[in-house]
Amino acid sequence: MLVLAGTPIGNLGDAGRRLIETLETATVLGVEDTRVAQRLLAGLGIANRPRLVRVDEQTERARIAELVALAAESDVVLVSDAGMPTVSDPGFALVRAAIDAGVTVTAVPGASAVLTALAVSGLPTDRFVFEGFAPRRDGERRRWLAELAAERRTVVCFESPNRLASLLAVMAEVLGPDRRAVVARELTKLYEEVVRGTVAELAEWARGGVRGEIVLVLAGAEPAVASEDDALAEVLARVAAGTRLKDATAEVAEATGLSRRALYDRAVAAKR
């Protein structure tokens, strides 16, 4: 089978017994960086020296056939430099190929920078979306933020420390300076830091320079303020366009924050 093994995102003490046992018995280890993998094995006191196969952005597709064939005969363990493989790390193409070949894919769960940052952020965790790495180019970044302007769920993304200040400054422009956000830096490591505030406040803080691995957590958009009459007109327009009344009411209520029941009752009355 193919085993996706989550590794510590900083503190080696977070390595669980199952991960250690998996690495101690592995014969083939797919790794993002062989040097990082060797340090991990040494740091966990693992004497086992499995065959290391490099699986990164440049080599993954060239290694797929070999690793799938190996996984069909024995276990192949896949790790990234930190956290869970395939989550903004290599491995997705290999997983798809293994599934298509009928190879069992399982996981040894481990630390996740996404979930750790979300948990400590103090922002709503009941509904969230992970956006991977923020776009680098200004135009793409602004279009991406424009799409997130009305996103009601909490947004989690990664960013380079060198680009964090500029991202936060553009967020203040596109989303408004008062949108709440959290910067989680060096999670689980010695110099862990979690900074909370508005995007404008965080942009000012980051201007002085930031180091380390960054996870940015952005609060969801507040419901748009709308009059009930305008909302009712929108519901009726959607119904006229073919949307079921129940669905149209739910969609408009979600977008405006108004009562679904009240909108539905008014729409029924208006249609009589």
pLDDT digits (tens, 9 = 90+) for 93-128: 999 999 999 999 999 999 999 999 999 999 999 999
| 193 and 255 in a common domain | no
- What mean pLDDT value characterizes the chain? 93
β-partners of residue 159 are 214
Q: How many domains does the chain have?
A: 3
Does some domain include residue 223?
A: no
| pTM score, whole prediction | 0.80
In a domain, 263, yes or no: yes
What burial letters (b/e) apply to 141-160, b meaning 16+ CB within 10 Å? beebbeebeebbebbbbbbe
E strand residue ranges, 110-192: 128-133, 154-159, 180-185
Quick check: 20 pLDDT over 70?
yes
Query: Would you say residue 157 has pLDDT above 90?
Result: yes
Q: What's the CATH number where 13 sits?
A: 3.40.1010.10
CA 149/CA 81 separation, integer angstroms: 32
For residue 272, what pLDDT band results from cuts at 50, 70 and 90?
A: confident
Q: What is the pLDDT of residues 46-56, one digit of tens each?
A: 999 999 999 98
Same domain? For 74 and 49 the reply is: yes
Quickly count: other Cβ atoms within 10 Å of residue 100's Cβ. Answer: 9
Q: Is position 214 within any domain?
A: yes
203-251 pLDDT, tens digit per residue, is: 999 998 999 999 999 999 987 656 788 888 989 988 888 899 999 999 8
Amino acid identity for residue 176 in this structure = G
Residue 126 lies in a domain: yes
Same domain flag for 210 and 121: yes
